[in-house]
Amino acid sequence: FSKLGQGDSAGAEFDDLVDAVDALGAAGIADPDRVGITGGSYGGYATAWCATRYIERFKAGVFNDAASTEIYKGLTTEIPVEDRDVHTLADPWTKWDFRLERSPIFHAEKSRTALLIAGGTADTRVHPAQSLQLYRALKLLGRAPVRYVRYPGEGHGNARAASRDDYARRLMRWMEHFVLEGRSELPPWELGPEVAAESPVDEG
């Protein structure tokens, strides 16, 4: 079961997420109109996919350090062999049409899900351009709230306590703002008086 996703990026394994949302809604455990999704790295890829491909099921999403364009992910990562042998089962310069269709950015025009994108500027596992491209596409389209937070000097996952704290606060506020409160406009950039005035981030 754990290997069903190999060679099938964003296929059966992400369909499981959507099926789980539907099942929880049908059971009355979750409110189908107030569902958020979040994750980092490959979980961030799942978040970006669900926020662009399955927009009717997700009110908001938050991800960090994640791929949005499968076409060149394997050519810009520090782990190209692992990416091929564990995930894609194909060399990164092959299966162009499949990789394009399984890229969240390919579905960007459909997106109506409020999306918070975050990532370190020194990430060598998933190149920061992956975040920037999806942010730029969604921003230009202007059909859903989107924000991009960059953490200077951070790699694949924040190492500094201040960066981790900032990200956690932004994630919680994003979900409260869009999922719990049902708002449609962006929340303020500033986090509030409880956060140090010297923020470790810059906005895209």
Active site residue 156: yes
Active site residue 41: yes
Active site residue 184: no
Q: In what order do the strands lie in the sheet with 202-203?
A: 36-40, 60-64, 114-120, 146-151, 202-203
C-alpha distances in Å from residue 134, one per residue of 30, 63, 139, 177: 29, 12, 8, 21
Active-site choice (87, 127, 156, 177): 156
**Contact assessment for residue 178 and residue 36, using Cβ atoms and an 8 Å cutoff:** yes
Active-site choice (8, 16, 41, 199): 41
Active-site choice (123, 127, 131, 166): 123
Q: Specify the 3-state DSSP secondary structure of 76.
A: helix
Angle at the Cα of 174 from the Cα atoms of 135 and 73, rounded to 5 degrees: 35
Which residues are part of the catalytic machinery? 41, 123, 156
